[in-house]
Chains A and B, each alone.
Chain A
Amino acid sequence: MRTRDLSSGFGVVISALCAGLAAAILLLILGYVAREGAGALTWTYLSQIPRPVNVPGGGVANGIVGSFIIIGIAALIAVPIGTLAGIYLALYGRSWFAETTRFLADVLSGVPSIAIGLFAYTVFVAPFKHFSAVSASIAFAVLMLPLIIRTAEESISRVPVRIRESALAWGISSYAATIHIVVPAARSGMITGLLLALARVTGETAPLLFTAFGSQFWELNPTNPMAELSLQVFTYAISPYEDWHRQAWAGALLLIIAVFILNVGARFALRTQTRR
């Protein structure tokens, strides 16, 4: 009996160490990024564009603005399509077509982003022979869609059927009941999905390599190549220059802050729904 208790305790301790190890690695990485990044995270870094190679200083302001533009356009594409498809699945989702859509959404969420980047390249870069921020937005929109569709469907399905039925009983058309009553009731769940999708693409780099391509200059026209923060971090990290490595750490810190804010926001939005 005693040895069994002992070995049980041993197993529990090993399990606890494994869980602790995963959390410790996160803290280790966060700590390192914070330590290395905080020093380089100055006002100059946030407000200036990159200097030429070997000229120290400069910043990533163009990349930060580029991230907002690229991700903003991606959201403008993905949110309407994803929400409408989510409504369709939630309200009319019993056909084989809906089942196929669900399946594709689930499976697409695991497709490597680089393959989706190649798709955006073949459709929106190769024909024009010109890299562009819009092509990056389209790749990002495809990355965001599965998450937006499934969270929209889920949160709309959670709205009690009685709410919809009582709206219909008042003589409201099915369309108005959906748009004005059911969808608003599911809003916080859908916001959660949107924030998680934004977090996913904020940390995404691979598709940008051959869509947005990057730029050393101010670029606000989305049909041109554009700088993007995570792409700058990648370029700086693999460069041989000490000053660029410093800037890569600062950029990594910015990315982590942005992604964590989005994740915590997503949790917060979800909590307001469950409390209601």
Chain B
Amino acid sequence: MNASIQALEQRHVRRSLVSDRAFVLFIYLATLLFVATVLGLFAMLLLGSWTSIREFGFSFLWTSEWNPITGRFGALPMIYGTVVSSLTALVLAGIVGVFGAAYLADFAPRFISVPLSFLIELLAAVPSVVFGLWGLFVLAPVLRTVVDPFLQAHFGMVPLFSGPIFGSSLFTAGILLAIMIIPTISAISRDVIAAVIPEHREGSLALGVTRWETMWHVLLPGARSGIFGACILALGRAFGETIATTMVIGNKPAIAASLFAPSYTLASVVANEFTEATTDMYLSALIELGLLLFVVSMIVNAAARVLTWTLLRPSKGR
């Protein structure tokens, strides 16, 4: 009797060990599946773009002919459009986002900063197709008829603001992207500004330094790398944004000096032309654009992670 109970216990212990091991194996496999998916993503994009990579090599990146009929593909106009629209967005959103974050993190009383932060976070939740719709029917007409002519009248000698004005343009895309990435910049900047050691701020204020000077000379420099990381992260968002950009950028594979000219981005070419691509080379070139986006976004996000990580998660070293 006693022995059988012991045997039972023994068996129970063994079984629980087996189930424990099975469970650990199970969750390990789930994790492995995720890792394999990410690696598979890269592998499949590489495989899909192989035809194009073999044909054009690195010249894909700096030739500007995009011609489905002759089958010559070069991504330079899209790279130009992506970089210029994203940088326009980053400059505008960087100013608004960082100053806004300064207000939310330090100057604003709680009863203002809490609801205001909530509203700005909701801005991040708005679907990009809704931004695109609004950009197409509201923002683009206003820019074309009011803002762009104004800029041209006053700064027309700068090539960026010269030339004929189109509603669907690099500038419209840049402003729409800026609106979309403000929440990314302001939310992270607010957190890193708030994470600056409080003694630094208090010490500065105690010396009679004004609140603005404290922000400018103590808090912002202290949060610098985190803010920089936020901007890189936002730049990555702008690079990869597809639907909203497609709806307002004009979708023309040409490089123009003017911000008011229509252009194209890597993501919007894929969105626009993928289902119409008839030849293997065409499909492959489009998938290579996707591969380019994937690789660039991986690098950008890795950099942003390194920059914000050390500030926001100092205790979580593991």
Residues of chain A in range 103-117 having any CB-CB distance to chain B below 8 Å: 103-116
CB pair A115–B297 under 8 Å, yes or no, is yes
Q: How long is the Cα–Cα vector from A135 to B301 in the complex, in angstroms?
A: 26
Q: Which of A25, A105, A110, A255 contacts B130 (CB 8 A)?
A: A255
Q: Which of B97, B126, B216, B286 contacts A259 (CB 8 A)?
A: B126
CB pair A230–B31 under 8 Å, yes or no, is no
Q: How long is the Cα–Cα vector from A98 to B20 in the complex, in angstroms?
A: 19
Q: Which of A25, A92, A123, A245 contacts B179 (CB 8 A)?
A: A25
Please name all residues of chain B whose beta carbon is closer than 8 Å to the beta carbon of A260 when the two chains form the complex: 122, 125
Residues of chain A in range 1-48 having any CB-CB distance to chain B below 8 Å: 4-5, 7-12, 14-16, 18-23, 25-27, 29, 32-33
Q: Mark A120-162, 1 if CB is under 8 A from B, else 0.
A: 0111001000000000000000100100010000000000000
Sample of 29 A–B contacts (CB below 8 Å): A8-B212, A22-B120, A29-B131, A81-B34, A84-B26, A84-B31, A88-B24, A88-B27, A101-B35, A105-B34, A107-B302, A111-B240, A112-B242, A113-B240, A114-B242, A115-B41, A118-B287, A122-B44, A142-B37, A175-B19, A176-B19, A203-B127, A203-B128, A205-B128, A209-B275, A234-B132, A238-B247, A256-B126, A260-B125
Q: Is A272 among interface residues, defined by CB-CB distance under 8 A?
A: no
Q: How long is the Cα–Cα vector from A16 to B186 in the complex, in angstroms?
A: 12
CB pair A205–B129 under 8 Å, yes or no, is yes
Given pairs A4-B213, A81-B30, A122-B48, 13 additional interface contacts (CB within 8 A): A12-B103, A19-B120, A33-B130, A84-B26, A94-B318, A106-B305, A107-B298, A111-B297, A111-B301, A112-B297, A114-B293, A115-B291, A206-B242
Chain B interface residue number, banded:
35 or more
Q: Which of A32, A106, A118 contacts B290 (CB 8 A)?
A: A118
Q: Which of A20, A94, A101, A205 contacts B116 (CB 8 A)?
A: A20
* Closest chain B residue, CB of each to CB of A245: B137
CB pair B122–A26 under 8 Å, yes or no, is yes
Q: How long is the Cα–Cα vector from A112 to B304 in the complex, in angstroms?
A: 15
**A27-B119, A115-B297, A175-B23 known; A252-B35 Cβ under 8 A:** no
CB pair B243–A206 under 8 Å, yes or no, is yes
Size of chain A's interface in residues, with CB distance under 8 A?
91
Spell out A's residues near B (CB within 8 Å): 4-5, 7-12, 14-16, 18-23, 25-27, 29, 32-33, 80-82, 84-85, 87-89, 92-94, 97-101, 103-116, 118-119, 121-123, 126, 142, 145, 149, 173-176, 178-179, 199, 202-206, 209-210, 213, 230, 233-234, 237-238, 245, 248-249, 252, 255-256, 259-260, 263
Please name all residues of chain A whose beta carbon is closer than 8 Å to the beta carbon of B274 when the two chains form the complex: 118, 121, 209-210
CB pair A15–B297 under 8 Å, yes or no, is no
**A111-B240, A112-B241, A203-B126 known; A22-B31 Cβ under 8 A:** no
Q: How long is the Cα–Cα vector from A88 to B242 in the complex, in angstroms?
A: 34
Q: Which of A15, A22, A145, A199 contacts B183 (CB 8 A)?
A: A22
CB pair B127–A84 under 8 Å, yes or no, is no
* Closest chain B residue, CB of each to CB of A255: B127
Q: How long is the Cα–Cα vector from A13 to B45 in the complex, in angstroms?
A: 49
Please name all residues of chain B whose beta carbon is closer than 8 Å to the beta carbon of A16 when the two chains form the complex: 103, 107-108
Q: Which of A113, A118, A145 has the most CB of B within 10 A?
A: A118
Q: Mark B45-61, 1 if CB is under 8 A from A, else 0.
A: 10110000000000000
Q: Which of B17, B104, B127, B305 contacts A230 (CB 8 A)?
A: B127
CB pair A112–B240 under 8 Å, yes or no, is yes
Q: How long is the Cα–Cα vector from A43 to B297 in the complex, in angstroms?
A: 42
CB pair A100–B35 under 8 Å, yes or no, is yes
Q: Mark B3-38, 1 if CB is under 8 A from A, else 0.
A: 000000000000011011011101110110111011
Please name all residues of chain B whose beta carbon is closer than 8 Å to the beta carbon of A12 when the two chains form the complex: 103, 107, 211-212
Please name all residues of chain B whose beta carbon is closer than 8 Å to the beta carbon of A249 when the two chains form the complex: 133
CB pair B24–A92 under 8 Å, yes or no, is yes
Q: How long is the Cα–Cα vector from A205 to B247 in the complex, in angstroms?
A: 12
Q: Which of A11, A32, A149 has the most CB of B within 10 A?
A: A11
Nearest 4 A-B pairs (CB), nearest first?
A112-B240, A203-B127, A11-B212, A8-B210
CB pair B123–A25 under 8 Å, yes or no, is yes
Q: Mark B91-116, 1 if CB is under 8 A from A, else 0.
A: 00001110111111001100000001
Q: How long is the Cα–Cα vector from A101 to B30 in the complex, in angstroms?
A: 11
CB pair B120–A23 under 8 Å, yes or no, is yes
Please name all residues of chain A whose beta carbon is closer than 8 Å to the beta carbon of B19 when the two chains form the complex: 173, 175-176
* Closest chain B residue, CB of each to CB of A206: B242
CB pair B31–A204 under 8 Å, yes or no, is no
**A26-B120, A203-B127 known; A15-B99 Cβ under 8 A:** yes
Q: How long is the Cα–Cα vector from A22 to B186 in the complex, in angstroms?
A: 9
CB pair A5–B132 under 8 Å, yes or no, is no
Q: Which of B34, B182, B186 contacts A104 (CB 8 A)?
A: B34
Q: Mark B280-318, 1 if CB is under 8 A from A, else 0.
A: 000000110011011001101110110000000000001
What is the distance, in angstroms, from B13's C-beta to the closest C-beta of chain A? 9
Q: Is B259 among interface residues, defined by CB-CB distance under 8 A?
A: no
Q: Is B236 among interface residues, defined by CB-CB distance under 8 A?
A: yes
**A104-B38, A118-B48 known; A174-B127 Cβ under 8 A:** no
Q: Which of B123, B137, B293, B300 contacts A22 (CB 8 A)?
A: B123
